[in-house]
Amino acid sequence: MTTAIDALLAAGTIAVIAAWFTGHPILYSPNSPVMSPFTALSILIMVGTREARLHFETWPMVLSLAMSGLVLGGNASSIVMLTTTPAEIWGTFPDLVLTSVMTSIGLILFCAYDLIIELRDTPASAFIMDDLLIHLALVPGGLSLLGYLLGNPTYLSIHSDPRVGISPLEMVFLGLYAVAAVVSNPRLFLWQFLAARPSNRLVFGLLFINQFVAPLLVALFVYRPGSSGLGIELFVMLAGVVATMAFLLLQARVARRDTGGQAVPA
């Protein structure tokens, strides 16, 4: 399944990059977020690195680290440029759209996860760092979805250039990347927890849904259409994220205790 998803992502990102080169970007609009070619290139590199790591025994670890580091460093630089330099400077390249800050944060978190699992297999530990990184990487996408539903440009990470932000196409690509990342790593504690009993799947499903449904319900009551900026729905979402991560951490601690302090079986 991972290979099928990665093949789809690779084909999609190549199509996005090719469309920019031919001067006809996919789903282009001068007044709303468009998927940046730099975002597509970042995802393509990440997908190619993951597939090489999974399928080629002779693939050198140092090359995986270099490629993931390249994407991480490039997106960190993009954040610095967008947040510290005047818009007029990067606005002198009207034919290019930069990666938004929110998208770059998500890509950096995915790269951090990829770097860690490249250095070692996901350990059976009470501190489930790998699970937490994947969970945090989903937050920018959740905020973006909230931004589209509410029409709030702040949550879409829209900058001075309205084309710089999280587009629906980007949300789909990042969501698929997250699915493939989870499916490709059976050592994640989440898989052990969900497989243990049906009630675990129910509880986690409710917590996961709560992260996105509760903020939307709150926003429907207090949000004013057309407004921008951060609202109470953001803090409701963050509370849901913290609750889910804290729940998984506690469950990992309980599982380790139940095994007498030994490693939780993978």
**pLDDT tens, position by position, 231-240:** 777 888 888 8
Q: Side-chain half-sphere of 266: how many Cα atoms within 13 Å?
A: 9
One-character DSSP codes across 230-257: --HHHHHHHHHHHHHHHHHHHHHHHHHH
Q: Is the pLDDT of residue 176 over 60?
A: yes
Global pTM value: 0.85
For residues 36 and 108, what is the distance between their CA atoms, to the nearest angstrom? 16
Query: DSSP character for 159?
Result: -
What is the amino acid identity at position 2? T
For residues 17-31, average pLDDT:
86
Q: Side-chain half-sphere of 148: how many Cα atoms within 13 Å?
A: 15
For residues 108 and 137, what is the distance between their CA atoms, to the nearest angstrom? 8
The token duo for 179 is 């699915």
The better pLDDT of the pair 262, 115 is held by 115
Residue 51 has φ and ψ, to the nearest 5°, of -65, -40
The better pLDDT of the pair 35, 145 is held by 35
The token duo for 172 is 């789909």
Residue 140 has φ and ψ, to the nearest 5°, of -55, -40
Q: No. of H helices and E strands in the chain?
A: 11, 0
State the helix-helix crossing angle for 189-196 and 232-258, rounded to 10 degrees: 80
Q: What residue spans define the domains of the chain?
A: 2-258
For residues 211 and 225, what is the distance between their CA atoms, to the nearest angstrom? 21
Q: Is the pLDDT of residue 261 over 60?
A: no
What is the distance of C-alpha 200 from the center of its chain? 24
Q: Is the pLDDT of residue 228 over 70?
A: no
Q: What is the pLDDT of residue 93?
A: 67
- Mean per-residue pLDDT of the chain: 82
